[in-house]
Amino acid sequence: MITAEYLGMPLEINDLDKENLDYFAHCSKHDFRLQRCCSCDLFRYPPTTACPWCTAAESEWVAVEGRGTVHSYTEVHHAIQPSFKQHLPYLVLVVELDAQSGKPSAQEALRVVGNLTTPDGVLAPRKDVEAVGIGTRVRMAFTDVAPGISLPQWTIDENAAGKSRIWRYPSE
Amino acid sequence: MPMREDIEGTTAKYLRDKYAIVGVGETDYRRGSTLSTRAMATRAVGNAMRDAGLKASEIDGMLSYQFNDSAFSPLVAGDLGIRLNFYMDVFGGGSSTEALIGIAIGVIEAGMCKTVVIFRSMNGFSQVRIGGTGARAAAPVVGDMLHSRAYGWQSAGQSFAPSFMRHMYDYGTTAEQVAAVRVAHSHHASNNPKAFYKKRVTVEDVINSRMICKPLHLLDCCVETDNANAIIVTSSERARDMRHVPVKIRGVVGRCSKPRSDMHYQTGPISTVAGHYGKEILWPNSGVGPEDIDVTGSYDAFTFTTMLQLEDYGFCKKGEGGHYVSDGTIKLGGRRPNNTSGGHLCEGYTHGIAMVIENVRQLRHDADDSCPIGPDGRRQHTYDYGEGGCRQVKNAELSANLGWASPGTGSALVMRRG
């Protein structure tokens, strides 16, 4: 059982939740791994208890490159959790990984959720929030919460700066 | 005696019109009900029984849905002196009403009971708030929520927003187009004495209201209220002897889902919602198409949910939802009004059941507006849709209700005037 507090929220992973224990343990080493099906070799996200494509139960944790493109997002201006208020506005990103994009069918991909953060995993300042939209290239960062649990996050990929075509919600 | 094989039972078509909604009732839409969910439920069910003209001894089935925030059927039935042959309280929200109507048909068809009342009772403002504030915000983040709430991604608006945003990107849908949903529903609510928000608003009011989470402004989001609603389902044969013109059930869709209902963003297009799949069940089973429908009831937790559902159930071409909701079609007086009560955006919030009740009244030609009551005790509808006026759709014969749990899961119902 892992218990931790992050931005005022209690986080818990119980001992029976083996999939999340493994997922976040790898993240705590800044090593992003996803389950790869031992039967059909497809990766899946978020952690599941069987393969969504072939139903096989067996999987292994295999490293996946944490790079991708923002597929969609929301920019939050009204926080529900009180501790998020100091970070408004913040972004929730749905990022399509380069790995396995368009597989096993054209419309499918590994779309990994995270906030926009600085490279060291702190919720991003307003100037960065306002620079990101659909199409932005991002790379993975991590927020260390407690031993055995770090949250995978997204930060702007400096190497791709100026190369991506970005769509943002029209400003008021 | 005819054998079952004699009946076309390979599709749901043989159930068309065989069951009907015979009673509807609710409590006031308030912020601060001063009642328990149990007390509100008994009042709503009691109102539905009086509406149908049914005694406690004539009801023997009960269904409800909730999020650990409401009273259970045995208590509500007990309070009202109803002896149950069947009951079930299920977990769920906005995709429940239509699904439970289908379940009611199934259990009556199976001979488990004869007449089923369905209720939803919630102190959604003063006790358990759906958005996640209060008690829900303090609960530990566990299991699948480690991939959502931990990122400040937890309220319905926050969770659905990536679908809404992607629709704007994919199709050029504008905030102004979608704001027209709030405008239409607010006009309808101004003719609904029950509505919590009766004030008419403009597109500018919506766009200028404060941003909650892009693309949702405050007025793109529904109201939170306390209230209970109830619906009574029985066979059309029994319905013949009851107080109102029966409203017959043509077809239902229950919690139809996109692939990967654990996190539907894994399968695109993410700007397509469950109605894309649900329409393949709804229209063939109902024997009608979207063009035949006179009045719609969409799940308007947000302006965008209405737009996406109407589009994916085929009321317009894919991608043209923004145009459809802003060209006058969905307003009273338009070709196919939507949420004539004002819906969740304006009337009040009860997880979809109220929009079914509204369409039952529309199909009875008995919308409870401010039109004068004639010598026969029925409203004399003027069809003047000006502020404070009529909200009855002229000659309404067929309705469609579209329920929504999330972009990935929805339910639907087609009803006709009996």
- Which among B150, B162, B163 is the nearest to A9, CB-wise? B150
How many angstroms separate the CA of residue A153 from the nearest CA in chain B?
Answer: 9
ipTM, 2 dp? 0.97
Rounded distance between C-alpha atoms, residue A108 and residue A88, angstroms: 31
Q: Alpha-carbon distance B239 to B229, whole Å?
A: 20
Mean pLDDT value of segment B222-247: 96
Q: Collect all residues of chain A within an 8 Å Cβ-Cβ radius of residue B154.
A: 80-81
| Residue-level pLDDT at A85 | 95
Please report the pLDDT score of residue B288 as a whole number. 96
DSSP secondary structure of B220-270: GBPPP-EEEEEEEEEEHHHHTTSSS--EEEEEEEEEEE-S-TTSGGGBS-T
Q: For A109-121, how does the pLDDT look when each residue is reduced to its tens digit (9 = 90+)?
A: 999 999 999 999 9
Q: Which of B152, B175, B263 has its CB closest to that of A46?
A: B263
What length is written for chain A? 172
Which of B277, B299, B313, B324 is catalytic? The answer is B299
Catalytic site residue from B19, B87, B313, B349 = B349
* pLDDT value at residue B2: 47
Place B139 in a pLDDT band, splitting at 50, 70 and 90. confident
The CATH class that applies to domain A2-160 reads mainly beta
Chosen for mutation from A54, A81, A87 (greatest number of chain B CBs closer than 10 Å) is: A81
Nearest C-alpha in B relative to A80: B133
Q: Are strands B61-66 and B116-123 parallel, antiparallel or unpaired?
A: parallel
What is the structure's pLDDT at B377?
Answer: 84
What is the β-pairing status of strands B409-417 and B398-406? antiparallel
- Cα B15 to Cα B33: distance, rounded to the nearest angstrom: 39
Q: What is the pLDDT of residue B4?
A: 47
Question: Among this protein's residues, is B197 annotated catalytic?
Answer: no
Task: Give SS3 for A144.
Answer: strand
Chain centroid to CA B344: how far?
9
From 2.60.40.1930, 3.40.47.10, 3.30.1950.10, 3.30.710.10, which CATH number describes the B11-128+225-239 domain? 3.40.47.10
Interface test with B, best of A80, A151, A166 (most B CBs within 10 A): A80
Query: Residue B49 contacts by C-beta under 8 Å, 6 or more apart in sequence?
Result: B23, B25, B55, B56, B59, B80, B117, B232
* Nearest residue, CB atoms, A74 vs list B133, B161, B262: B161
Residue among A84, A115, A169 whose CB faces B165 most closely: A169
Residue where the block lists tokens 């039935």: B77
Give me the residue label for tokens 């005022």: A8
What residue spans in chain B does CATH classification 3.40.47.10 cover? 11-128+225-239, 249-417
Chain B CA closest to residue A19: B143
Average pLDDT in the B335-356 region? Answer: 98
Q: Which residue of A has its CA nearest to B213?
A: A76
Q: In chain B, what residues touch A75 (CB-CB under 8 Å)?
A: 211, 213-214
- Residues of chain B with pLDDT > 90, as a percent, come to 92
Cβ atoms B176, B203 nearer than 8 A: yes
Q: Which amino acid is at B198?
A: K
- Picking from A3, A5, A7, A9 by the largest number of B CB atoms within 10 A of its own CB, the best residue to mutate is A9
Residue B375, Cβ neighbours under 10 Å: how many? 6
User: Model confidence over A23-72: pLDDT tens digits?
Assistant: 999 999 999 999 999 999 999 999 999 999 999 999 999 999 999 999 99
Predicted confidence at residue B14, as pLDDT, reads: 80
Residue B410's pLDDT band, with cuts at 50, 70 and 90, is very high
* Interval B28-45: pLDDT, tens: 999 999 999 999 999 999
DSSP state, residue B133: -
Query: CA angle, B51 as apex, B50 and B57 as ends, to 5°?
Result: 45
Determine the pLDDT at residue B138: 79
Q: CB-based contacts of B209: which residues, under 8 Å, 6+ apart?
A: B217, B218, B219, B220
Q: Closest chain A residue to B211 measured between Cα atoms? A: A77
B33 vs A164, residue with greater confidence: B33
**Tens digits of per-residue pLDDT, A76-106?**
999 998 899 999 999 999 999 999 999 999 9
Judged by CB atoms closer than 8 Å, whether chains meet at A77 and B161 is answered as no
When CB atoms are compared, the residue of A7, A72, A90 closest to B162 is A72
User: How many CB atoms are located within 10 Å of the residue B28 CB?
Assistant: 15
Please, which pLDDT band fits residue B294 given cuts at 50, 70 and 90?
A: very high
pLDDT at A152 over 70: yes
B249-417, CATH topology level? Peroxisomal Thiolase; Chain A, domain 1 (3.40.47)
Predicted confidence at residue B8, as pLDDT, reads 53
Q: Is the pLDDT of residue B134 over 90?
A: no
pLDDT band at B129 (very low <50, low <70, confident <90, very high): confident
CB atoms B143 and A20 under 8 Å: yes
Q: B166: which chain A residues are within 8 Å (Cβ-Cβ)?
A: 71-72, 134
For residue B3, is pLDDT > 70? Answer: no
DSSP-derived letter for residue A123 is B
Helix axis angle, B303-312 relative to B275-286, nearest 10°?
Answer: 50
pLDDT of residue A172 exceeding 70, the answer is no
Q: Active-site residue B65, yes or no?
A: no
Q: Which of A152-161, B99-108, B191-200 has the lowest mean pLDDT?
A: A152-161
